[in-house]
Amino acid sequence: MTKSEISSRIILLQSEITSAILNGHKAHDDDEFKGHRIELTILRCMLYGEDSKICQSERANCRKCKK
């Protein structure tokens, strides 16, 4: 994937989550967006690099990514 494709995918996934929350969805670890959150972490690490502060923060905050 190119950086542009990665950025576009991040925006798409994040907008789906945001839209659901604005429509009353209550986010939790095992909701239907669990896969989105994991994919977002992976994509952000691909975009910014594994050693970036963004990637490290994403991995620290993603409880399901550690399993």
pTM, two decimal places: 0.83
Each residue's pLDDT tens digit, 38-50: 999 999 999 999 9
The answer to whether 37 touches 62, Cβ cutoff 8 Å, is yes
Local structure of 46: helix, strand or coil:
helix
pLDDT at residue number 66? 56
Confidence category of residue 64, pLDDT binned at 50, 70, 90: low
For residue range 4-33, what is the model confidence (pLDDT) as tens digits? 999 999 999 999 999 999 999 998 878 899
User: Is 37:31 a contact under the CB 8 Å cutoff?
Assistant: no
**Cα separation, 61 vs 54, whole angstroms:** 11
Domain residue limits, the chain: 3-66
The pLDDT, as a whole number, for residue 28 is 83
